[in-house]
């Protein structure tokens, strides 16, 4: 299958276990330059998609000495993956199963996984149910405990206001929602983030996910602590683990990060300075930290 553009990835479509059409970006599959190194599989956040990982995927797949195949997935209902008529299927268990299906469809027997936000929660489940797929894990601003304050912020901006009229307005909205916690970003970064979040339909930006995913947050009782995944984290603690935490995040508390380090003696911790939830992985010192971590993997 030819590259979709000059950016070095191929489009992959495959079917979920219940027949839904799912999508992935596949950077440098089957090339000699990546032979002998395990691929990297990227799982996005709640309403995000494979475009979030594009700059990082280019860095990792085009490295002149340690290039790796990189696969970035669109979860069901997001990006180029089909929307599910059964909205109850937008849950961690079903989405973890979709990741397993993707690995089988794309010939991935073992990989290093990067999970941003909800993608990291999915990796907690995969560690408990399919640990054979994991060589190492990078968690991007997520852990076994999700802070209700952070989830409330996500709920409110996903369900608030109308969509932008044009791409300048889209960048302004993204900056309005996240500017206070992403002080490290410049104007180009905001435009790039807008292009990752919105899809161009007839020249107008449209949020690139099934609205039912955001709607479901309205029914979550955030006056009570959310269920934790410490039991599943015990399975994750068997693998090399890099934890990236946004300096200004409201979703992953320092207390949870410290407890993760206590329970996983080999955990490597990296702060994304000037960033909130969830950090952009191609900025500042983060690519170097990821590169150094990958150098210790297969």
Residue 211 lies in a domain: no
Residue 102 lies in a domain: yes
Residue 125 lies in a domain: yes
- Taking only the tens of pLDDT, the chain with its 298 residues reads 233 345 789 999 999 999 999 999 999 998 999 999 999 999 999 999 999 999 999 999 999 999 999 999 999 999 999 999 999 999 999 999 999 999 999 999 999 999 999 999 999 999 999 999 999 999 999 999 999 999 999 999 999 877 899 999 999 999 999 999 999 999 999 999 999 999 999 989 999 999 999 999 999 999 988 999 999 999 999 999 999 999 999 999 999 999 999 999 999 999 999 999 999 999 999 999 999 999 999 8
Residue 103 lies in a domain: yes
Residue 58 lies in a domain: yes
Q: Which pLDDT belongs to residue 3?
A: 37
* Alpha carbons 264 and 258: distance in angstroms, whole number: 10
Q: Which domain holds residue 74?
A: 9-147+227-294
Q: Which pLDDT belongs to residue 4?
A: 38
- Per the CB < 8 A criterion, the answer to whether 96 and 253 are in contact is no
Question: What are the contacts of 18-23 at 24+ separation with CB within 8 A?
Answer: 18/89, 20/76, 20/81, 20/82, 20/84, 21/81, 21/82, 22/73, 22/74, 22/75, 22/76, 22/81, 22/82, 22/98, 22/101, 22/102, 23/50, 23/73, 23/74, 23/79, 23/80, 23/81
Tally the domains of the chain. Answer: 1
* Alpha carbons 257 and 237: distance in angstroms, whole number: 13
Query: What CATH number is attached to the domain comprising 65?
Result: 3.40.50.1820
117 sits in the region (left: phi over 0; alpha: psi -120 to 50; else beta) called: left
Q: Which pLDDT belongs to residue 298?
A: 82
What CA–CA distances, in Å, run from 179 to 89, 140, 183, 185, 276? 32, 19, 6, 8, 9
Strand 70-74 and strand 9-15: the pairing is: unpaired
Residue 205 lies in a domain: no
Question: What are the contacts of 133-136 at 24+ separation with CB within 8 A?
Answer: 133/100, 133/103, 133/108, 133/109, 134/110, 134/239, 135/38, 135/110, 135/111, 135/239, 135/240, 135/297, 135/298, 136/112, 136/239, 136/240, 136/241, 136/242, 136/293, 136/294, 136/296, 136/297
- pTM for this structure? 0.96
């Amino acid at each position: 299958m030819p590259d979709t553009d000059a950016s070095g990835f191929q489009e992959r479509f495959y079917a979920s276990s219940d027949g839904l059409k799912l999508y992935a970006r596949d950077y440098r599959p089957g090339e000699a330059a990546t032979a002998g190194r395990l691929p990297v599989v990227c799982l996005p956040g709640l309403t995000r998609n494979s475009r979030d990982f594009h700059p990082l995927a280019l860095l990792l797949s085009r490295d002149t000495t340690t290039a790796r195949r990189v696969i970035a997935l669109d979860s069901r209902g997001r990006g180029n993956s089909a929307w599910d008529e059964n909205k109850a299927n937008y849950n961690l268990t079903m989405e973890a199963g979709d990741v397993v299906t993707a690995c089988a469809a794309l010939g991935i027997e073992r990989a290093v996984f990067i999970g941003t936000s909800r993608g990291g929660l999915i990796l907690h489940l995969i560690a408990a149910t399919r640990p054979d797929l994991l060589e190492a894990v990078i968690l991007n601003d997520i852990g076994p405990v999700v802070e209700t304050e952070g989830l409330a912020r996500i709920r409110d901006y996903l369900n608030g206001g109308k969509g932008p009229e044009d791409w300048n307005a889209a960048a302004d909205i993204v900056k309005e929602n996240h500017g206070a916690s992403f002080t490290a970003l410049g104007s180009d970064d905001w435009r790039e983030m807008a292009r990752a979040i919105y899809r161009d339909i007839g020249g107008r930006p449209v949020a690139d996910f099934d609205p039912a995913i955001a709607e479901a947050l309205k029914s979550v009782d955030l006056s009570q602590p959310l269920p934790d995944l410490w039991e599943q984290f015990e399975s994750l603690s068997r693998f090399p683990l890099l934890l990236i935490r946004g300096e200004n995040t409201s979703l992953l508390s320092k207390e949870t990060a410290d407890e993760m380090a206590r329970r996983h003696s080999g955990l490597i911790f990296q702060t994304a300075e000037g960033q909130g939830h969830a950090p952009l992985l191609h900025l500042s010192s983060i690519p170097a930290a990821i590169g150094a971590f990958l150098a210790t993997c297969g």
